[in-house]
Amino acid sequence: MKKVYALIIGLCISFTGFSQSCLPEGITFSTQAQIDSFPIDYPGCTEIIGPVTICGNDISDLSGLSSLTSVDNNLAIGWEDSENPLLTSLAGLEGLTFVRTLYIVNNLNLNSLAGLNNLDTIQWFLSVVGNQSLINLNGLDNLKYIGSDIFIEENNSMINFAGLEGLTRISQAYVYDNPALVDFTGLNNVDHFSGIFDIVGNASLINFHGLENLTKADLLKVWYNENLVNLDGLQGVTTLSSFLNLDNNPSLVDLTGLDNLVSIGDDLYISANESLSSIKVLEKLNSIDGNLTISSNSALTSLDGLDSIAASSINDLQISWNSNLSTCDVESVCDYLADPNGNVFIFGNAAGCNSVEEVENECTAGINVNKLLGNPIYIHPNPASTQIIVETLLVQNSCHYILSDLNGQPLIQGQLSPSKTIVDISELVTGIYYLKVTNNNFVNVFKIVKNCY
């Protein structure tokens, strides 16, 4: 009988050492005493099923929770209307490997996430908000997966994302109002944002260093970052599957970092960046599949850089309130105005780009009349839909013409007849072409606009 009792006791002791699920209704810790007594009140509890909240004015030590390995619901350390003023680290949570959602909110003196070193999976959200002493995310070094959004907001001392080096993919990230954030160091291994990448109100952000391995994102929104100079660090990005929105970044000088951007799946919106003087770095961009808006960029003088965008990929076009913008007759805009796909708004810019008519005139400037050795060549109508007429007195020497596309590919060629030559362009697609007229003494090139009406 003694052996039987001994066996039963041994089994009881053994079972208490196994992992156990508990607390399906969850638990709230509001005092240090509750945390200290957790191993006694819930012996063997390692996997909490319900939500866990840790909020208390005297909570300073989480070692009473050292048995926990997972929280299959929300784990909230601090919350919007409460805080843990004495908590400086998360030591004691080293056993955690899994949580469904992790909220770290309003812990004013928390300066480290040490204690979460073995956490490798967050099934849904990571929210780090209002932790005024937190410098970075060190302590999350083994985190490999976040299933949904990341919120990094109002952490006044955070300078970068160090601690997230284990992540390679991120769904969506919202980075709001972190006044000390300088760059994105820590996200060095992330190659893909599958959703929104929203960067708003980070006063010390200078560039996007730390994102050099990023190649693709869905939507990039960069707003109200007052010291952002450029987007350096995004050179690996070739595709944005949704829109690019750059708005109210007063120190943004150029778009360095977007050097290799080829396509945007929706709108391109560049507005109210008062120091932006050049967008030339966008010269590889060939498609936007949405609206093109360039507005209220007071230092911008030219749209050079937008030349390669296919006009057919632009829906509505708005170029407005760029007070020094005088050069709008880039290929994409001229092609679009020849055959618009939507609404056109051009106003409030400098002379040459202050109305649709001014831009159209610049697109066709110099192509109707030219003086060659004292003899005029007239090309009309221009723009044209079915034919152009070339009139000249310069026939004493043989004159040859070649009509080419913008890549220099010859499409139509022949000899100019005395007085007048009709060139049929009815089979050409709408857009910009070049007519080269040559003889033994000269070569001259005229810009021709083919429209659809």
- The per-residue pLDDT string of the chain (453 residues; one tens digit each, 9 = 90 and over) reads 444 333 333 434 333 444 589 999 999 999 999 999 999 999 999 999 999 999 999 999 999 999 999 999 999 999 887 789 999 999 999 999 999 999 999 999 999 999 999 999 999 999 999 999 999 999 999 999 999 999 999 999 999 999 999 999 999 999 999 999 999 999 999 999 999 999 999 999 999 999 999 999 999 999 999 999 999 999 999 999 999 999 999 999 999 999 999 999 999 999 999 999 999 999 999 999 999 999 999 999 999 999 999 999 999 999 999 999 999 999 999 989 988 989 999 999 999 999 999 998 888 764 443 434 444 577 888 888 899 988 876 555 578 889 998 778 899 999 888 778 899 999 998 888 888 888 766 667 788 888 866
Cross-sheet strand order for the sheet of 410-415: 410-415, 400-404, 431-438, 443-450
Domain 369-450 has CATH 2.60.40.1930: yes
Angle at 207 between CA 201 and CA 213, to 5 degrees: 115
pLDDT score, position 376: 56
Rounded to whole angstroms, the Cα distance separating 251 from 205 reads: 11
Half-sphere exposure of 177 (CA within 13 A, CB side): 7
Identify the CA nearest to 290 among candidates 245, 251, 223.
245
pLDDT score, position 416: 85
pLDDT score, position 8: 35
* Inter-residue contact 448 to 429 (CB < 8 Å): no
Rounded to whole angstroms, the Cα distance separating 35 from 37 reads: 5
pLDDT score, position 442: 66
Q: Which residues contact 102 (CB under 8 A, 6 or more apart)?
A: 75, 77, 119, 122, 125, 126, 127
pLDDT score, position 393: 65
Identify the CA nearest to 397 among candidates 416, 413, 421.
416
Each domain of the chain, given as residue ranges in start order, spans 263-363, 369-450
Phi, psi of 32 (to 5 degrees): -65, -35
pLDDT score, position 3: 41
